[in-house]
Structure 1
Amino acid sequence: MNLNERRYILSRFSDYYSNADFRIKSIERREFGVGNSKKIDSRHLAFGSVSEFRGYLTANTPLFVSHSAAYYHFPAATPIEKKQRIGADLIFDLDIHAEGKYAVYSRLDEAKQDVIRLLDEFLLGDFGLSKNDILIVFSGNRGYHIHVTDSEYLLLEGDERREIVNYVRGEGLRYEDFFEWGEEVPKKLYGPRPDEGGYRGRIARSIIEDPTRLAPKIFADEGRRRMFIEGIKEGDWSRSSMKLSDIPKKVANIARSLPVLSVNADAAVTHDMSKLIRVPNSIHGETALIARIVEDVEKFNPLDDALLDKKRQLSVVFNEDVPPLEIAESTFGPYKKGEKKELPESVALFYILKESASMI
Structure 2
Amino acid sequence: MDNAWLVPLSMLLGGVFGAGVVVLVIAAERTARAADVAERHLPDGVAAVIATMHNPAVVVDPSNTVVAASPQALVVGLVVRRRLVHDELVDLVDRVRRSGENATEDLELTRGSRDAVGYLGFRAALLGNRYVLLTADDLTESRRIDEVRRDFVANISHELKTPIGAIGLLAETLVAAADDPEHVRLFAAQLVTESERLGALTKDIIELSRLQSLDVVETSEEVAVDGIVQAAIDANSVVAASRDIQIVRAKKSKLRVMGDAALLQVAVSNLVANAVKYSPDHTRVGLGVRRADGFVEITVTDQGVGIPEVDLDRVFERFYRVDPARSRATGGTGLGLAIVKHIVANHGGDVRVWSQPGRGSTFTIRIPEADPELTSALEEHLEEQQS
The verdict on a shared fold, with TM-score over 0.5 as the criterion, is no
Normalized against structure 2, the TM-score is what? Answer: 0.21
Normalized against structure 1, the TM-score is what? Answer: 0.22
Larger of the two Rg values belongs to structure? 2
Tell me: higher relative CO, structure 1 or 2? Use CA pairs within 8 A at least 6 residues apart. 1
